[in-house]
Chain A
Amino acid sequence: MSGRRRPEGRGLTWVLAAPVLLVLLWLVVYPNLVVLGESFGAGGRFGLDAYREFFGTGAELRALWASVWISGASVVLSALVGVPLAFLFARWEFPGRKVFGALAALPVLLPPLVGVIAFLFLFGESGFFTRAVQAVLGLATPPWRLSGAPAILLVHAYTMYVYFYLFVRAGLARLDEGALEAARSLGASRWTVLRRVTLPLLAPSLSAAALLVFMTSMASFSAPYVFGGGFRVLTTQIYASKLSGALPLAMVETVMLAGVSLAFLWVLRRLEGDREVTSVGKGFGAARRRVGSPLLRAGLAVAGVGGVLFLLLPHLTLLLVSFVPQGSWTTQIFPHEFTMANYGSLASDPRLLEPILNSLEMASLATAANLLLCFIAAWLVVRRRFRGRGLLRVLLVLPWALPGTVIALGLATTFSVDRPAMGRLLLVGTFWILPLAYFIRNTPLVAQAAIASFRQLDPALEEAAHSLGAGWATTMRRVALPLVLPGLAAGGTLAFVTALGEFVASILLYTHATRPISVEILAQLRAFDFGKATAMGVALAALVAVAFALGGRWLGRGDLLAG
């Protein structure tokens, strides 16, 4: 029923909505306007010089084009890996299906930078795989160099297939087996069923995954930064311009990146809206096909388990390298010495311990702020009808559509001067700038989780509390909060984990005193201290695992909502 307006309700709505809207406008929209303004020339002088430079320079246009085609190619490659894998694990029964089916989703939990570095040790010029191929073929030089567009695409496909895998598996689980059986009973061949029934029904999953991969690729920084070399995309171009002091150009590049991202989002959403396919009726989940022939069974098991192992290889590599003593692994294919020393230094060396503590503190702060803001915002979005609700919904997803580099540059520009009257504080160079960046980047994540939880929550529960005499605060504390906590905790855990390994915004905004884990990993890598770099990467992954285990204690209580 629409219009849940209630006597005394309007005042409360605005008491809550006004601060939430103001904070979001100030932190999400305003910095982008500042960047847009300064792209036309800083200091009051209006001009198109920077734009002329951007469109007049081949390198700039090439970077723009590279961002777009890399993203498109990433979508195709990720789909080629993720979709067959999803079908394999969702539709066939074979030994090891459960464990490896879960493991296949693992890369999404690992910070992108850690994944990228893992590739270096596997497929890089001195990686295991490369050295092995070199030795087998008896070559004098490495058979390839891991750099440029192919390297970026490899990393993208390797890490982003997870979106296709997860979305298509979820889509297959929801698929009404009745529709497939109906098609088969009408005489359709297996291939026809796949083409005419299954894939159209999966279209929402596929397009959602495609959108996610495209946006993630547009925003991708770690892979192009580490492997790009001379091959530039917009994100790395912005970083380079910022570092070299070409600020107006960096602004224009940021505007272009944001513009392209938002435009693609808009176009895809449009296309999506036209053909929403939903199953009618209850339906029942598809039964997994049990393969009769033992040979085929073994084949499937090998394909599934082997495929996942291959996909997890980079991460296993990371683990291995973290046990290798500094300088002991030079020319051999495989390291021969192992030590715990790298881990020991994490605890003993304050230079390594500090970033870990920094990241923990900053991620906690940002996540706490996310939870508070998003709980209130989600309640407003789901339960209230008011002018500004549409705006609030847009503001809550906008940071997701904006690449991290764009957000970081916006913050770096807006909060680099002390003009409180203009809403611009001097935060760059202080502790607060990174938690702020994490907060903004993770708002969509937590907001979506909170909104989904509130949508599942029967509004009658809150009404029941009101009719029994509970005020708004009591109702939230005693009824709504305990019931949305599982969803909120899930969103919060994801946000915390993401903030813990955040790299894209951090590299543009960090100060030495507050450098996060990711920046320190990069520093160790640059110093060729691979053992320490990978040990830190593993420590980061372990922290992520711990966060999920703790978060899972709430997630496990998700059955509350089912009652």
Chain B
Amino acid sequence: MELELDGLRKRFGETAALDGLDLALERGELLTLLGPSGCGKTTALRIVAGFESPDEGRVRFRGEDVTGRSPRRRGFGMVFQNYALFPHLDVFENVAFGLRCRKAPEDEVGEKVGRVLELVDLPGFGGRRVQQLSGGQQQRVALARALAIEPPLLLLDEPLSNLDAALRERTRVELRRLIKELGITALFVTHDQEEAFDLSDRVAVMRAGRVRQVGTPEALYDRPADAFVAGFVGRANRIRARLERDGGGRVAVLEDGTRWPLPDREWGAADTGTGEELDARPAGPGVELWVRPEDLALGVAGAGPGRGEGGEGAGGPAGGRLQGCVGDRRFRGSGALYRVEVPGIGVLEVAGGREEAEAGDPVSVGLRPGRRVHAFPADAP
């Protein structure tokens, strides 16, 4: 393991910023800490950088305990959220700063700075004042400055959040390509799920000072470990239901009586064992079904049995259909997002084609065959 965080705890006054954080990065891996503001992701990054010391726990780098080591002796490169470029130095001197601290000879400084500036696509910018640069250029200077010291580990604290949306998306791709090209191990912090998915080999979703789940973007999206992760990594409808056994499988009975058979494999909660607990409760435990809009489909009003079982194909995965009325339609480029009001259930978001229905149209809503439905305990946050 390249970097290991082991049981990190940190309190700021009354609030626990980190509450037992464990994490490991492999060499050359690009891992993102993803979470809402206040989840402790920045604190974790600052502890790795050495700007904060943990109350408990250890930071190991290549097997060596670096917990008590000062930032300057760790030699990690860091890119700050607001770049923290030195405003009194030009681009060249900013990038050269770390090399000069290492007392590198002048010709080596010149050569390395030139190379790094070329790497970030800013050749010939050395003489510019940093205030003359655009946001995107400043971001690249900040990256160049961190890369110039040839760090074994690169730390990035929301480095794209100050860029406008279009530039941010382009820069993500560039940043990932560059980091992968250099083969550098990187720890990235963001609150933006899309950014995390675009950039990372693996993503660690954090909440309240702990890592809730680590995995590839696909794994997080398809098999979220809990309701929080499911909600944080994409849109989802939350539908209250009861679980019942039906022969070999399970059926979710919605509050209006509609029955949705759930194939065993699709248990989100089963991965963490919560499914078993649910199963063990005799009365038919209350759960929340998390269904992504793209896993639902609109149909003609009245199609299929309104309540009860059946539906298309005997007990097929799609199950019963809900009857409702389109509240509004939002254009989403390749398709549209419909908000359907279903009496007794609430409002469901359904992804569909651009012109499947108009606002006010009566429609039915059913599960798309073969899609995943996650069931989490109803009392989950």
Interface residues, chain A, with chain B CB atoms under 8 Å away: 1-8, 458, 460-461, 463-471, 474, 478-479, 482-483, 560-563
B72 touches A470 (CB 8 A): yes
Q: Interface digits, B65-80 against A, CB 8 Å rule (1 contact, 0 not)?
A: 0011111101111101
B1 CB contacts on chain A under 8 angstroms? none
B68 touches A469 (CB 8 A): no
Q: Report the Cα distance A459→B90, complex, angstroms.
A: 19
Q: Is B102 an interface residue (CB 8 A)?
A: yes
Minimum CB distance partner of B87 in chain A: A563
A460 touches B80 (CB 8 A): yes
B84 CB contacts on chain A under 8 angstroms? 458, 460-461, 463-464
Minimum CB distance partner of B76 in chain A: A467
Q: Report the Cα distance A6→B10, complex, angstroms.
A: 13
**Contact status of A467 and B82, CB under 8 A, knowing A2-B13, A6-B51, A482-B88:** no
**Contact status of A468 and B52, CB under 8 A, knowing A2-B13, A7-B67, A563-B87:** no
Partner of B101, one of A4, A460, A463, A468: A468
Partner of A483, one of B68, B80, B87, B145: B87
A4 CB contacts on chain B under 8 angstroms? 51-52
A461 CB contacts on chain B under 8 angstroms? 84, 86
Q: Report the Cα distance A465→B87, complex, angstroms.
A: 13
B67 CB contacts on chain A under 8 angstroms? 7
Q: Report the Cα distance A7→B71, complex, angstroms.
A: 8
A223 to chain B: closest CB distance in Å?
A: 44
| Further pairs besides A2-B13, A4-B52: 7, Cβ < 8 Å | A3-B52, A6-B51, A461-B84, A463-B71, A465-B97, A467-B78, A482-B88
Chain A CB within 10 A, most for which of B52, B85, B86 = B86
Q: Report the Cα distance A468→B102, complex, angstroms.
A: 9
B311 CB contacts on chain A under 8 angstroms? none
Q: Is B49 an interface residue (CB 8 A)?
A: yes
A3 touches B86 (CB 8 A): no
A2 to chain B: closest CB distance in Å?
A: 5
A464 touches B69 (CB 8 A): no
Q: Report the Cα distance A561→B82, complex, angstroms.
A: 14
Q: Report the Cα distance A126→B264, complex, angstroms.
A: 107
Q: Is B375 an interface residue (CB 8 A)?
A: no
Q: Report the Cα distance A517→B324, complex, angstroms.
A: 91
A466 touches B87 (CB 8 A): no
A10 to chain B: closest CB distance in Å?
A: 10
B85 to chain A: closest CB distance in Å?
A: 8
Q: Report the Cα distance A428→B166, complex, angstroms.
A: 70
A468 touches B87 (CB 8 A): no
A470 CB contacts on chain B under 8 angstroms? 72, 97, 101
A464 touches B52 (CB 8 A): no
A467 CB contacts on chain B under 8 angstroms? 49-51, 71-72, 74, 76-78, 146
Partner of A474, one of B88, B101, B129: B101
Chain A CB within 10 A, most for which of B50, B84, B85, B130 = B84
B149 touches A463 (CB 8 A): no
B53 touches A469 (CB 8 A): no
B82 touches A469 (CB 8 A): no
Q: Report the Cα distance A2→B17, complex, angstroms.
A: 11
Q: Is B98 an interface residue (CB 8 A)?
A: yes
Q: Report the Cα distance A458→B50, complex, angstroms.
A: 18
B53 CB contacts on chain A under 8 angstroms? 5-7
A482 CB contacts on chain B under 8 angstroms? 88
Partner of B68, one of A7, A464, A466: A7
Minimum CB distance partner of A463 in chain B: B51
**Contact status of A460 and B82, CB under 8 A, knowing A6-B70, A8-B70, A466-B71:** yes
Minimum CB distance partner of A467 in chain B: B78
A469 touches B88 (CB 8 A): no
Chain B CB within 10 A, most for which of A5, A468, A560 = A468
Partner of A5, one of B43, B52, B75, B85: B52
A479 touches B98 (CB 8 A): no
Q: Report the Cα distance A468→B70, complex, angstroms.
A: 11
B80 CB contacts on chain A under 8 angstroms? 460, 463-464
Can you list 19 A-B pairs, Cβ within 8 angstroms, ordered by A? A2-B12, A3-B13, A8-B70, A463-B51, A463-B71, A464-B84, A464-B85, A464-B86, A467-B49, A467-B72, A467-B74, A467-B76, A467-B78, A468-B101, A468-B149, A469-B75, A483-B86, A563-B87, A563-B129
Q: Report the Cα distance A6→B52, complex, angstroms.
A: 5
Q: Report the Cα distance A562→B86, complex, angstroms.
A: 12
B49 CB contacts on chain A under 8 angstroms? 463, 467
A467 to chain B: closest CB distance in Å?
A: 4
- Which residues of B (83-124) have their CB < 8 Å from a CB of A? 84-88, 97-98, 101-102
A495 to chain B: closest CB distance in Å?
A: 23
Chain B CB within 10 A, most for which of A1, A3, A458, A467 = A467
B101 to chain A: closest CB distance in Å?
A: 4
B158 to chain A: closest CB distance in Å?
A: 12
Q: Report the Cα distance A482→B87, complex, angstroms.
A: 10
Q: Report the Cα distance A6→B68, complex, angstroms.
A: 8
B72 CB contacts on chain A under 8 angstroms? 466-471
Minimum CB distance partner of B96 in chain A: A468
Q: Is B37 an interface residue (CB 8 A)?
A: no
Q: Report the Cα distance A471→B88, complex, angstroms.
A: 19
B102 touches A469 (CB 8 A): yes
A8 CB contacts on chain B under 8 angstroms? 68, 70
Minimum CB distance partner of A483 in chain B: B88
Q: Is B131 an interface residue (CB 8 A)?
A: yes
Partner of A469, one of B13, B69, B101: B101
B70 touches A7 (CB 8 A): yes
Q: Report the Cα distance A463→B50, complex, angstroms.
A: 9
Partner of A3, one of B12, B82, B101, B130: B12
